[in-house]
Amino acid sequence: MSAPALSTLQHVTEKKLDRLARHQQNFEADKQSILNDAAACDDLRGKVKALLDGFKKYGIKPRSPDVSLANLEIFVRQAKHDPSVPSDLLRDWQIKLEHELDIATAKYDYTALFGKLVIEWIKHPNPATSDRDSQPQASDSDSEMSEGFDTLGRKEMYEQRKEWESYAFVEKKVDEAKIESYLNDIFAPKVKRKVDKSPLDHLRDELSDVMDFKSELQTPEPKDGRQRRVPDVDEYRFTLGKLESCIDGVLKSDLLAGKKREALVHLKGQKEVLKELVVVLNMDLEGLDEWEWEPSPIPLYMRRQLNGKYRVFMDQETHQAILLHFVGKVWATALKKAFVKFFNSSEWEHAYHQSMGNKARERRQYYLSGAPDPSNPVRSLRKEEYLQKYFMLQLPEDDLADIQDYNAEDQRDHSGKSFSATKQNMLRLVTTEMLLNKKLYGEFFVVQSDFKWFGPALSHAAIFTVLKYFGIPDKWLRFFKKFLEAPVVFAQDGPKAEAQKRKCGIPMSYVLSDALSEAVLFCLDFAVNKRTNGFNIYRFHDDLWVWGQEKTCVQAWDAIREFSHVMGIALNEEKTGTALILSEGAIKRDIPAGLPDGKIKWGFLYLDTEAGRWIIDRTQVDEHIEELKRQLGACRSTMAWIQAWNSYVSRFFRANFADPANCFGPKHNAMIIETLEHIQKTLFSDMGTTNVTDHLRSTLKQRFGTNDFVPDGFFYFPVELGGLGVRNPFIDVFATSKKSFRDAEDSFERAFEREQDEYNRLEKMWHEGKLGHRKDLHLPKRKRELEANTEANEPFMTFDEYVKYREETSWYVANAYQKLLESPEEEIIEVSPPPSDVSEEAAVLNLRSAPYWRWIYRLYGGGLKQRFGGHGLQIGERDLLPLGLVDVLKSEKVRWQG
């Protein structure tokens, strides 16, 4: 956050706090006056009446629903003459009215505390929440606070920078002729065509028609005589909507930080400026043949990721970031559409370990004619899931689709096509496939790998050879060359540092980089499909997974190694491995020589081949606990500490433990709960506390003098209600523990039992003449009966034949397969009062339908009711909370210290 912006935010917040102080001062004076008047009365009825008069005089309204001033006035008049009104009841009324005054005091106090925390956040921004170049100058005391931390990991940073430079600034030589020969081999059509174009020809046609530099209306017809596709007038042009989408995309991609990011956020609200920018950007599009990087050279910054790896980002100008984002989305969308069409063509095969041949299919048709066909068997589910969730995931569906940040390790976005959701779904998929393959075939292989320094190490020559092969025009190749060969300099080297031109690799966090690299990796996808005769590689950018039976995995691994060798990309041995999971009682055997050694890992999990399930690597967790201590120690404000805590523990840790799923079973939930408990005990053991709330409570007392006991709800309730928004990572794990599948493998056992019942029913129908080709409904009834009696003794197909191709024929297996991929049903916490009576504040936050917030409300709401009155959830005075400022401060992505 820039210094002017910080000053403005601080000024606005201080204005609100001044207003709050005046309100609080006036209220406390009124409160004291009321209490003095009550104290001056000799009897209880007089004290209650004095309190009621004071409430009415100063316009104070009770917070608790069971305190009615109108009713109390009536009862007090009655008590004057009716001796049956007991003194205990009068004392109770007095206590309730005085408590109402204390509630108002508490709300003012906590609103003021909330404001002070925001001011602290502005005055002492965490080094982890803003880039160094955009921070205000640190004071001496600030330097002392962070001096020890700043040096941590610096050696590692310089070592990684040196390795990055060894790739990025050295031209990688590859054999372009060999690449072209390789592409000819894998893309050679299965059937030679004389008239119709091949799927590859159609792909080339699609990619040769992507956006011209000039107006589409001025573009000449192609010289080869084919009809040019006429695009929509706005297809390759900026519009106001597309500009706003690009701005959102640039912000989400995390290219810009500090002042530039703030300026871009501000630009979103300037409609007239945006309209002018649309005109200028469209002029830029028409002149892309003259485009150059500006300014030159472009500063580079290294940002630390939670996994300890540093990534190199370019700090470019906002205007160019928007332009490149648009061009990147155009090409990413075009490539995605072309590749999906190729996937759906006759060239892309879809095979299975036991595929049903023509003879087997004819026999099933003979015996089962008249029986309902299975809907969406496992093979259909696989194909649909692969295309919708995994194939070319890095590329957007259309030019308005969101771009996902593949490297956002601390994000917990569960939207259908986010990378975090897809990575979770992939682990469920491989686990479900493991369970199914063990049951059907007795064993299961899974192979994992990725490419070493893929982004920096991808050869420009390899990229351009692939692009040329796909028919992308030379004018675009020239533009891509300028994009890739950016002149850059590390900002930390100072203004006199010598610029260098990139000669290898792709820039970080650009959609266009994703498009170019995915074009290359598409060749790998198809190569695996071709070499395995119809199986697919599951891929998150350069993270590679194949699974199934031995032959398939060996063929796929050979295809991966062949691609790696041809394209000049090294495989990462540290992240490469194979696992063989055997069914119970099977004879153990070694991994075949054709497959790589090494453990199979996912996040903080490794696959235990003996138990056949995923186990949390406690050593890896402990390393990150130490890192978390350092990251939290660098935070110089409570709110920044909470932001770092939420990001690291509730998102990063939790995401890398894998979300609970039916295929994992309740042991997985128990393992996560035990590990989260271990994290808190280990993290806070040196601080004299045992959990996050006690630590924060101690911090508030030390920094702000909060002498009374701060209720837990203040920490966990959302900021909209005046809470601090601390996330509790245990809740979603506990919520799914009870209803998680007890034994996931039983799902397929139950499916097999239902298949037996179905087989018995069909066999009976066969012998009754109600099933199979023997029943010709066009014959007279008597003749059908005679034919049925003649063939009644013909044996029905055996059960083994009936179930041999379960992946293609069994609805029961497919249903179990689908259920195992799902999350366990969450336990719903009952809300009292009933949901219809929940306060307005709760309704605003949708607490009645959000399981997490229902849990928070019931777990911590009781203490808040006592402190703040009634069943309302509002802790602070809403109108005086600086919520807009908190949103701005939270919007800046956490930057982890090196």
Task: Tell me the pLDDT tens digit for each residue of 405-434.
Answer: 555 544 555 445 577 888 999 999 999 999
Instruction: Determine the pLDDT at residue 777.
Output: 42
Higher-pLDDT residue of 322, 897: 322
Q: In terms of residue numbers, what domain contains 627?
A: 616-657+666-739+829-891
Give mean pLDDT, residues 101-128.
Answer: 83
Of residues 234, 852, 186, the one with CA closest to residue 533? 186
3-class SS of residue 889: helix
The per-residue DSSP string of 550-563 comes to HHHHHHHHHHHHHH
Give mean pLDDT, residues 828-841.
Answer: 55
Instruction: Determine the pLDDT at residue 82.
Output: 87
3-class SS of residue 897: coil
Residue 391: strand pairing partners: none
- Please give the distance of CA 698 from its chain centroid, rounded to a whole number: 33
* Pair 553, 459 in one domain: yes
Task: Tell me the pLDDT tens digit for each residue of 540-560.
Answer: 889 999 999 999 999 999 999
Instruction: Determine the pLDDT at residue 399.
Output: 59
Beta-carbon-side half-sphere exposure of residue 783 (alpha carbons within 13 Å): 6
Higher-pLDDT residue of 126, 281: 281
For residue 435 the two structure tokens come to: 């369970």
Contact 281, 361 (CB under 8 A): no
Contact 375, 313 (CB under 8 A): no
Residue 544: strand pairing partners: 449, 539
In a domain, 773, yes or no: yes
Omega before residue 833 within 30° of 0, cis = yes
* Pair 380, 440 in one domain: yes
Q: Which helix H or strand E contains 450, and what residues bound it?
A: strand 443-450
Give the separation between CA 612 and CA 444, rounded to whole angstroms: 10
Compute the C-alpha angle 65/67/68, nearest 5°: 105
Task: Tell me the pLDDT tens digit for each residue of 453-480.
Answer: 999 999 999 999 999 999 999 999 999 9
Higher-pLDDT residue of 219, 243: 243
For residue 870 the two structure tokens come to: 């009634």
Contact 349, 230 (CB under 8 A): no
Higher-pLDDT residue of 406, 215: 406
Of residues 619, 648, 653, the one with CA closest to residue 631? 648
Higher-pLDDT residue of 236, 374: 236
* Pair 519, 538 in one domain: yes
* Pair 640, 586 in one domain: no
Q: Where are the alpha helices (DSSP H) in 510-635?
A: 511-531, 550-567, 618-633
What's at 474, amino acid-wise? Answer: D
What are the φ and ψ backbone dihedral angles of 811, each rounded to 5 degrees? Answer: -70, -35
Instruction: Determine the pLDDT at residue 137.
Output: 31
Q: Is the pLDDT of residue 845 over 90?
A: no
Task: Tell me the pLDDT tens digit for each residue of 679-738.
Answer: 999 999 877 788 999 999 999 999 988 877 888 989 999 888 888 999 999 999 999 988
Instruction: Determine the pLDDT at residue 318.
Output: 92
Please report which confidence band the pLDDT of residue 783 belongs to, taking 50, 70 and 90 as the band edges. Answer: very low
Among 5-9, 472-476, 609-613, the range scoring the smallest mean pLDDT is: 5-9
Contact 506, 513 (CB under 8 A): yes
Of residues 257, 315, 320, the one with CA closest to residue 130? 257
Residues 6+ apart with CB under 8 A from 362: none
Residue 615: strand pairing partners: 606
Task: Find which of 1-10, 32-41, 117-126 is predicted with most confidence, using mean pLDDT.
Answer: 32-41
Instruction: Determine the pLDDT at residue 200.
Output: 95
In a domain, 379, yes or no: yes
Give the separation between CA 530 and CA 188, rounded to whole angstroms: 10
Compute the C-alpha angle 246/252/258, nearest 5°: 100
Give the separation between CA 441 and CA 215, rounded to whole angstroms: 59
Instruction: Determine the pLDDT at residue 284.
Output: 93
For residue 638 the two structure tokens come to: 């409570």
* Pair 630, 719 in one domain: yes
Instruction: Determine the pLDDT at residue 216.
Output: 42
Q: Which of 820, 852, 872 is the last residue of a domain?
A: 820
Give the separation between CA 177 and CA 182, rounded to whole angstroms: 9
In a domain, 218, yes or no: no
Please report which confidence band the pLDDT of residue 62 belongs to, taking 50, 70 and 90 as the band edges. Answer: confident
Give the separation between CA 289 and CA 800, rounded to whole angstroms: 66
The per-residue DSSP string of 196-250 comes to SPPHHHHHHHHHHTS--SS-GGGPPPPTT-PPPP---TTTTS--HHHHHHHHHHH
Contact 455, 588 (CB under 8 A): no
Please report which confidence band the pLDDT of residue 294 belongs to, taking 50, 70 and 90 as the band edges. Answer: confident
Beta-carbon-side half-sphere exposure of residue 775 (alpha carbons within 13 Å): 16
* Pair 531, 622 in one domain: no
- The count of domains in the chain is 4
Higher-pLDDT residue of 72, 304: 72
Mean pLDDT of the chain: 84
Give the separation between CA 699 and CA 715, rounded to whole angstroms: 12
In a domain, 864, yes or no: yes
Q: Is the pLDDT of residue 131 over 60?
A: no
Contact 560, 449 (CB under 8 A): yes
* Pair 624, 755 in one domain: no
* Pair 448, 556 in one domain: yes
Q: Is the pLDDT of residue 138 over 70?
A: no
Task: Tell me the pLDDT tens digit for each residue of 336-358.
Answer: 999 999 999 999 998 877 778 88
Please report which confidence band the pLDDT of residue 6 belongs to, taking 50, 70 and 90 as the band edges. Answer: low
* Pair 781, 840 in one domain: no
Residue 581: strand pairing partners: 444
- CA separation (Å) from 291 to 345, 476, 481? 37, 11, 11
Instruction: Determine the pLDDT at residue 865.
Output: 75
In a domain, 596, yes or no: yes
Please report which confidence band the pLDDT of residue 849 belongs to, taking 50, 70 and 90 as the band edges. Answer: low
Please report which confidence band the pLDDT of residue 446 belongs to, taking 50, 70 and 90 as the band edges. Answer: very high
The per-residue DSSP string of 738-801 comes to TTS-S-TTHHHHHHHHHHHHHHHHHHHHHHTT-SSTT--TTS-HHHHHHHHHHTTTSPPPPHHH
Give the separation between CA 872 and CA 878, rounded to whole angstroms: 12
In a domain, 294, yes or no: yes
Of residues 444, 349, 368, 386, the one with CA closest to residue 803? 368
Give the separation between CA 828 and CA 31, rounded to whole angstroms: 42
Instruction: Determine the pLDDT at residue 837.
Output: 42
Give the separation between CA 169 and CA 161, rounded to whole angstroms: 12
Contact 128, 627 (CB under 8 A): no
Task: Tell me the pLDDT tens digit for each residue of 500-519.
Answer: 999 999 999 899 999 999 99
Among 87-96, 267-276, 412-421, 659-668, the range scoring the smallest mean pLDDT is: 412-421
3-class SS of residue 119: helix
- What is the value of pTM for the model shown? 0.86
Q: Is the pLDDT of residue 254 over 60?
A: yes
* Pair 731, 752 in one domain: no
Q: Is the pLDDT of residue 398 over 60?
A: yes
Q: Which of 786, 820, 854 is the last residue of a domain?
A: 820
Q: Is the pLDDT of residue 616 over 60?
A: yes
Contact 661, 823 (CB under 8 A): yes
Residue 311: strand pairing partners: 303
Q: Which of 820, 838, 859 is the last residue of a domain?
A: 820
Of residues 145, 288, 188, 70, the one with CA closest to residue 641? 145
In this structure, the number of other CB atoms found within 10 A of the CB of residue 306 comes to: 21
In a domain, 146, yes or no: no
Task: Tell me the pLDDT tens digit for each residue of 725-754.
Answer: 999 999 999 999 888 888 888 899 999 999
* Pair 630, 697 in one domain: yes
Please report which confidence band the pLDDT of residue 245 belongs to, taking 50, 70 and 90 as the band edges. Answer: very high
In a domain, 70, yes or no: yes
Higher-pLDDT residue of 383, 410: 383
Instruction: Determine the pLDDT at residue 790.
Output: 45
Give mean pLDDT, residues 600-605.
Answer: 96
Contact 417, 404 (CB under 8 A): yes
Residues 6+ apart with CB under 8 A from 845: 718, 720, 721, 853, 873
Q: Is the pLDDT of residue 151 over 80?
A: no
Q: Is the pLDDT of residue 382 over 70?
A: yes
Task: Tell me the pLDDT tens digit for each residue of 800-824.
Answer: 999 999 999 999 999 999 999 999 9
Contacts for 862-865: CB closer than 8 Å, 24+ residues apart: 863/711, 863/712, 863/713, 864/711, 864/713, 864/714, 864/717
* Pair 590, 707 in one domain: no
Among 171-175, 249-253, 597-601, the range scoring the smallest mean pLDDT is: 249-253
Please report which confidence band the pLDDT of residue 391 belongs to, taking 50, 70 and 90 as the band edges. Answer: very high
